[in-house]
C-alpha cells in the first residue's frame, strides 16, 4: 500500500512553470536590448524607399496625381531585400533567444533537448509575416502618397523639384499622419508664416512622427518574433515528448494595464493550441503591445 502510494507520487507528472508573472521570460529586457539596433535598420529602409523614387516617377505623379505600379514594384524589391538582410536576422535572434531560454527553464536532470531554431515552422512564420509586412509597407506608402496628392497642400504644384521635395518629406508616414502634417502646413501658411519657417517646422513635426513609427515597427516585430519563439519552443517540447498539457496565460505589461485591447485579457488561460478571446495565439494583440505569456506544462 505504502509502496503503491510512493510509486504513484513518483509517477505523477510535475507541473512546471516556464514563464509567469514573477519571471516573464525576459521579454521586456530583450526588447530593451534589441530595439535600438532594429530602429537603425528601419531608418535605413526609409532612406532606401526614398532613393527608389526616380525623376520619371515624380513626373508621372505630377501628371496623373497618383503613384504608378512601377514605383510600387520598385519599393517591393527594396523592402524585400531589406527584410531578408536586416529584419530576418533580427527575427531569428529574437526567436532563438526566446526558444533557448524556454528550454533552459525546462532544466531536466538529464541533458534536455535543444531548441531547433531552424525548424521549418519558423521559416514558414517568417515567410508569412514578411509577406504581410512587405505589402503593408509598399502599398501603404502608395496609399499615403495618393491621399496626399488629393490634399489642398499639393494643389497647384507645377515644378517636379518642389513636388519631389515635398513628397519625400512624407515618406514613411502612415496616411493619417501624413494628412496631419499636410494640415499643419496649411495652418502655418494660412497664419502667414514664411515659407522657409514653415518648411522647417513641418520637417520637425514629420520627423517626430516618423521617429515614433520606426520605434513602433521595431518593437512590434521583435515582440511578435519573441512571442512566436516561446510558443514554438513549447510546441517542439511537446513534439519531443518532454512536456504535455501546456497552458498559457495572458500577462499584460505594467504599462498596458489600461490598454483597452489587453486589459480584459490579463489572466486569461487557454491551452497551447487555443486562441485567446482576442483571436490571437500569442501577443502582440496590437501595434506597440508589450504583453507576454505565462507558460506552464506537465513535465514528462
Nearer to Zn ion, 58 or 285 (CB): 285
CA distances from 169 to 24, 42, 55, 164, 231 (A): 40, 16, 16, 9, 40
Nearer to Zn ion, 79 or 289 (CB): 289
Using DSSP bridges, classify how beta strands 243-251 and 14-19 pair: parallel, antiparallel or unpaired: unpaired
Nearer to Zn ion, 217 or 289 (CB): 289
- With CB under 5 A as the contact rule, which of the stretches 31-39, 41-49, 104-112, 285-293 interacts with Zn ion? 285-293
Positive or negative CA dihedral for 203, 72, 87, 259?
positive
With binding defined as CB under 5 A, does residue 262 bind Zn ion? yes
- Terminal-residue alpha carbon distance, the chain: 25
Nearer to Zn ion, 144 or 252 (CB): 252
With binding defined as CB under 5 A, does residue 291 bind Zn ion? yes
Smallest separation, CB 223 to Zn ion (Å): 9
Q: Could you say which residues in the range 14-73 bind Zn ion, by CB under 5 A?
A: none
- With CB under 5 A as the contact rule, which of the stretches 74-82, 242-250, 254-262, 271-279 interacts with Zn ion? 254-262
Q: Which of 45, 90, 102, 289 binds Zn ion (CB under 5 A)?
A: 289
Nearer to Zn ion, 88 or 266 (CB): 266
Within 13 Å and on the Cβ side, how many CA atoms surround 39?
Answer: 14
The residue among 209, 224, 207, 213 whose CA lies nearest residue 87 is 224
Smallest separation, CB 105 to Zn ion (Å): 22
Nearer to Zn ion, 87 or 285 (CB): 285
- With CB under 5 A as the contact rule, which of the stretches 72-80, 109-117, 204-212, 250-258 interacts with Zn ion? 250-258
The residue among 86, 107, 104 whose CA lies nearest residue 34 is 86
Maximum Cα–Cα distance for the chain, whole Å? 95
User: SS3 for 114?
Assistant: coil
Using CB under 5 A as the binding criterion, the count of chain residues that bind Zn ion stands at: 5
Smallest separation, CB 30 to Zn ion (Å): 16
Per the CB < 8 A criterion, the answer to whether 251 and 266 are in contact is yes
Rounded Cα–Cα distance for residues 300 and 290 (Å): 31
* Residue 106: its H or E element: helix 88-106
Rounded Cα–Cα distance for residues 75 and 69 (Å): 10
Smallest separation, CB 283 to Zn ion (Å): 6
- With CB under 5 A as the contact rule, which of the stretches 153-161, 164-172, 237-245, 248-256 interacts with Zn ion? 248-256
Q: Which of 134, 256, 282, 297 binds Zn ion (CB under 5 A)?
A: 256
Smallest separation, CB 31 to Zn ion (Å): 13
Provide the binding-site residues for Zn ion, judged by CB under 5 A.
256, 262, 285, 289, 291
Amino acid at each position: 500500500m505504502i509502496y503503491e502510494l510512493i510509486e504513484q507520487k513518483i509517477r505523477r507528472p510535475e507541473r512546471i512553470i516556464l514563464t509567469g508573472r514573477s519571471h516573464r521570460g525576459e521579454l521586456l529586457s530583450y526588447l530593451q536590448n534589441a530595439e535600438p539596433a532594429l530602429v537603425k535598420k528601419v531608418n535605413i529602409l526609409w532612406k532606401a524607399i526614398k532613393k527608389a523614387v526616380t525623376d520619371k516617377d515624380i513626373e508621372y505623379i505630377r501628371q496623373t496625381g497618383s503613384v504608378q505600379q512601377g514605383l510600387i514594384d520598385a519599393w517591393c524589391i527594396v523592402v524585400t531585400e531589406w527584410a531578408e538582410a536586416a529584419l530576418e536576422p533580427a527575427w531569428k535572434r529574437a526567436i532563438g533567444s526566446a526558444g533557448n531560454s524556454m528550454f533552459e527553464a525546462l532544466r531536466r536532470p538529464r541533458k534536455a533537448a535543444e531548441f531547433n531554431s531552424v525548424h521549418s515552422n519558423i521559416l514558414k512564420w517568417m515567410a508569412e509575416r514578411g509577406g504581410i509586412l512587405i505589402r503593408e509597407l509598399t502599398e501603404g506608402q502608395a496609399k499615403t502618397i495618393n491621399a496626399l496628392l488629393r490634399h489642398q497642400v499639393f494643389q497647384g504644384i507645377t515644378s517636379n523639384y518642389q513636388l519631389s521635395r515635398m513628397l519625400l518629406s512624407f515618406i514613411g508616414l502612415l496616411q493619417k499622419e501624413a494628412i496631419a502634417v499636410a494640415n499643419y502646413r496649411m495652418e502655418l501658411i494660412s497664419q502667414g508664416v514664411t515659407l522657409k519657417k514653415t518648411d522647417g517646422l513641418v520637417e520637425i513635426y514629420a520627423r517626430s512622427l516618423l521617429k515614433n513609427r520606426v520605434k513602433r515597427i521595431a518593437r512590434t516585430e521583435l515582440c511578435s518574433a519573441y512571442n512566436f519563439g516561446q510558443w514554438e519552443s513549447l510546441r517542439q517540447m511537446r513534439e519531443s515528448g518532454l512536456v504535455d498539457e501546456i497552458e498559457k496565460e495572458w500577462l499584460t505589461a505594467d504599462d498596458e494595464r489600461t490598454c483597452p485591447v489587453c486589459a480584459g485579457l490579463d489572466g486569461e488561460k487557454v491551452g497551447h493550441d487555443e486562441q485567446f478571446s482576442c483571436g490571437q495565439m500569442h501577443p502582440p494583440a496590437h501595434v506597440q503591445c508589450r504583453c507576454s505569456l505565462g507558460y506552464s506544462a506537465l513535465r514528462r
